[in-house]
Structure 1
């Protein structure tokens, strides 16, 4: 069982970092919460864990069943990273509705002033979250009520697209929390997507993510990446960001895969693990990271070579400590 206080600290640290983004949902349908360094944000009322901004918000629910799982995956010449927030496979939402359904006032809205607005389940029938639309606009309420009882309503449906964007808020709500996305959030802030063709695959996560058997990711914490900014644009390699995620990987990742990656960076013996798709991905990540560390930390490379005799490179902070 995971340490609940350590998990709370992990989540609070992520919320406090403007560079950390969040996603909640499933493979093919997810909402994301992200913010800029200077964006106006406020904590949730009632002592709840989360943040709101003018463009949306995130609220998280701590659970004894919650399992953070940090991982990296090879991505072309670079890599991606995340901390998946997982629950056991048996943990699902109370009711997965397959038709548009009126749910009444949204009493769980992140802002108090939104709790009298009406919520409609858009009918996607997902295991991990409800995809809902909240509004108090009379025309929007009429459209949604008319759709009740019909199959899933795409958020991009022409009937909704004709309404004022400011009148609609997309809500992804599940067992470990919710993300709200204002209809007029604009670029660079909270956003959401629903891709029916991907949902039909019935997967809970991409095949490249090494989520342990028996766990289902319900959300992801996405700390700042050392090679790209929040918009995905490449930036010069940032060793501090790299080290920060390695600490998360060491605490919350797969110990064998982490040891394999450390071996690839010149630290420690190769673990006794049979090669598989995950180990091959980790080896590619180690190679990509070694190249960037070698380019930005040539002195660290010399120290690593002297200490290990392997010619492999480790982080400058780690090699010189």
Structure 2
């Protein structure tokens, strides 16, 4: 039987692996970027680069679920290990309005401990999706709009967020992902930056789902963190690559232990 913590720690040290925390419509992703300075060797379930960070604080009660999903290209597929908790244990606060949470004393980097954390109020089942900032101008705007939905048509807070590009922080019962890069949009040429980035998609949020219907998560369980091991058929930017038999065999081992039968 595979040791979950060992597999995840190895993944933290694999620059070709990817991670995310979030829900269906609000997600924070952590990836390495080729050419960046090497990240520190992870001794715990934590990794930090200049672009973002991830930390898994606990594996208590976790059920790993390994699965493959189809890709539009017939010679490719996607592979995931979702770290799941029972529904009642996965529940977060589900705040539905902008809410100040105070200094982020649990931030992964000590330099961010004094920055102010705001729950965006997305009311998602298994993630409190937040922004974090030390920008006094942005803090003043956000404090003035506390208690309101960010999606109110006359709320200036969302526009201020998109202009200021604060850190995004996804909090779950297992840990957090932090994204330090700019928010994808007009300032980034309409695309998400390479490496750690976030997606907040209001149309998907309205579905109030914990995950895509394509993910075979067992009934009664909720994915709180997902790990994407190195692919046998595609690179870190989704490009085709020469088939990697070692990566293929490694994931088949994960499927054998943690796949859905």
* TM-based fold match above 0.5: yes
State yes or no: 1:162 paired with 2:163: yes
CA RMSD of aligned residues (A): 2.3
- Residues 129-148 of structure 1 aligned to structure 2 (within 5 Å): 129-148=127-146
* Partner Cα separation in structure 1 for residue 99 and residue 210 of structure 2: 23
Matching of residues 1-321 of structure 1 within 5 Å: 6-40=3-37, 41-42=39-40, 49-76=45-72, 77=74, 78-152=76-150, 157-163=158-164, 165=165, 168-184=166-182, 187-254=193-260, 256=261
Greater relative CO (CA pairs within 8 A, separation 6+): 2
**What is the rounded CA distance, in whole Å, between the counterparts of 2:70 and 2:230 in structure 1?**
17
Label 1:49 to 1:241 Cα distance change in 2 as closer, same or farther (>3 A): closer
Distance in 1, Cα, partners of 2:4 & 2:55: 15
Classify the secondary structure of the residue corresponding to 2:3.
helix
Under a length normalisation based on structure 1, what TM-score does the superposition of the two structures give?
0.72
Structure 1: tracts of 5 or more residues without a match: 257-321
Residues 93 and 128 of structure 1 are in contact (CA less than 8 Å); yes or no, is this contact kept in structure 2?
Answer: yes
Contact persistence 1:105–1:115 (CA under 8 A): yes
CA contact (8 A) 2:105 2:114 kept: yes
CA distance in 2, matches of 1:108, 1:153: 28
Q: Is the 8 A contact 2:181 2:196 kept in 1?
A: no
Number of residues of Structure 1 aligned to a counterpart in Structure 2: 247
In structure 2, runs of 5+ residues without a counterpart are 184-191
Q: CA deviation at 1:37?
A: 4.9
| Bigger-Rg structure (1/2) | 1
Counterparts of 1:39 and 1:252, CA distance in 2: 32
TM-score for both structures, normalised by structure 2: 0.87
Larger helix proportion, structure 1 or 2?
Answer: 1
- CA–CA separation in structure 2 for the residues paired with 1:48 and 1:103: 27
